[in-house]
C-alpha cells in the first residue's frame, strides 16, 4: 500500500511539473557563470538554444540541468562560436547528456586535435553540423538569430572568426565570442545598424585586444556582461572596464554570478 501511495505521489508530481512548465512562460536567457569561459542559454516553451559551453563540464551541466526539465533532455541548437577550449571544451559532455538537434559553427577547422575529435563525436552521435556566415538568419517561434560574423573570408587569427549573433526576442542580445580589432572594425563597417542591443556580451572576456569604444557606443546596451573567471590574462582589463562603463552598467560573472533575463 505504501509503495502504491509513493508511486501515485510521484506520478502526480511529474504531471504537475509538466503542466506547470506548459502554463508558465519560459522565455528567458541565461548568461552562465562557467569560470574563465563563455556560455549563454536562451529558451522558450518549445526550444532551447546554447551559445558556447565553457571549458568545465561540472560548471555548465549543473546550470543547464536547472533550466531544462528532467523529462526533456534536448538542446535544439548548439552554437559554438569558435574552437577555443574555454568556449567549446565542455561541449563533449553536453552532446553526450542532451539530445542536440543541430550543431552550428563558424566553419573554421583548425589544427586543434581536440576540436576535430569533438566534431567527430557530434557526427558519431548523428548530430547535423552546419556552418553559418554573415547575413544568415535562423527563425524560431520567439527568437530570431542574425549572423554578423564571420564574413566570407576567414581571418588568420582564430578569435576574429568567432560566430557573432544578434538575437531578438522581446529583448535583444549581442553575443560576440572572442572577436578582436580586425573583426570588430569590419562589423562596424558592414553592420553598424544591427549592433544596437539591450544586452551585450563584451568580446573576449574583456581583453584589451578587443577594446573599441566606437563598438561599445554603437551597441549602447542596457547592460554589458563580461563572462570571466580566475585567469592569467588579467581579464577584464581596466581599459575595457573604463570604456564599457561609459555606455552601460557592467555585470561580471566572476563577481555577480550567472545573469537571468526574463523575456
Q: Band of the pLDDT at 109, cuts 50, 70, 90? A: confident
Residue 176: name the closest of 220, 187, 168 by CA: 187
Three-class secondary structure of residue 63 per DSSP: helix
CA 64 to chain centre: 12
Question: Looking at residues 195-216, what average pLDDT do you find?
Answer: 98
Superfamily of domain 26-262: Ribonuclease Z/Hydroxyacylglutathione hydrolase-like (3.60.15.10)
DSSP, res 229 = -
Q: What is the CA radius of gyration of the chain?
A: 19
Percent of the chain surpassing pLDDT 90: 83
Lowest-pLDDT choice from 93-102, 104-113, 174-183, 187-196 = 104-113
Question: In this structure, are residues 89 and 63 in contact, taking their beta carbons and an 8 Å threshold?
Answer: no
Q: Where are the domains of the chain?
A: 26-262
Residue 162: name the closest of 119, 120, 205 by CA: 205
So what's the pLDDT on residue 153?
85
Look up the pTM and report it.
0.91
CB contact set of 67 (below 8 Å; sequence gap of 6+): 28, 30, 41, 43, 48
Q: Exposed, middle or buried: residue 7 (CB in 10 Å: 0-12, 13-18, 19+)?
A: exposed
Amino acid at each position: 500500500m505504501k509503495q502504491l501511495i509513493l508511486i501515485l505521489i510521484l506520478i502526480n508530481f511529474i504531471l504537475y511539473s509538466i503542466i506547470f512548465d506548459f502554463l508558465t512562460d519560459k522565455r528567458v536567457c541565461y548568461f552562465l557563470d562557467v569560470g574563465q569561459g563563455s556560455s549563454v542559454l536562451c529558451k522558450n516553451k518549445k526550444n532551447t538554444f546554447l551559445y558556447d559551453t565553457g571549458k568545465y563540464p561540472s560548471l555548465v551541466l549543473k546550470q543547464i540541468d536547472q533550466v531544462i526539465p528532467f523529462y526533456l533532455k534536448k538542446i535544439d541548437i548548439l552554437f559554438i562560436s569558435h574552437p577555443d577550449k574555454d568556449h567549446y571544451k565542455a561541449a563533449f559532455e553536453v552532446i553526450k547528456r542532451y539530445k542536440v538537434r543541430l550543431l552550428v559553427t563558424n566553419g573554421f577547422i583548425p589544427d586543434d586535435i581536440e576540436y576535430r575529435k569533438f566534431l567527430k563525436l557530434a557526427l558519431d552521435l548523428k548530430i547535423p553540423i552546419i556552418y553559418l556566415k554573415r547575413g544568415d538568419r535562423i527563425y524560431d517561434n520567439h527568437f530570431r538569430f542574425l549572423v554578423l560574423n564571420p564574413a566570407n573570408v576567414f581571418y588568420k587569427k582564430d578569435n576574429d572568426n568567432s560566430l557573432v549573433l544578434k538575437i531578438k526576442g522581446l529583448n535583444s542580445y549581442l553575443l560576440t565570442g572572442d572577436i578582436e580589432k580586425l573583426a570588430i572594425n569590419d562589423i562596424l563597417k558592414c553592420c553598424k545598424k544591427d549592433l544596437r542591443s539591450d544586452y551585450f556580451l563584451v568580446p573576449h572576456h574583456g581583453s584589451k585586444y578587443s577594446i573599441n569604444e566606437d563598438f561599445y557606443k554603437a551597441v549602447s546596451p542596457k547592460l554589458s556582461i563580461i563572462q570571466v573567471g580566475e585567469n592569467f590574462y588579467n581579464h577584464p582589463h581596466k581599459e575595457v572596464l573604463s570604456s564599457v562603463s561609459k555606455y552601460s552598467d557592467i555585470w561580471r560573472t566572476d563577481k555577480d554570478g550567472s545573469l537571468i533575463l526574463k523575456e
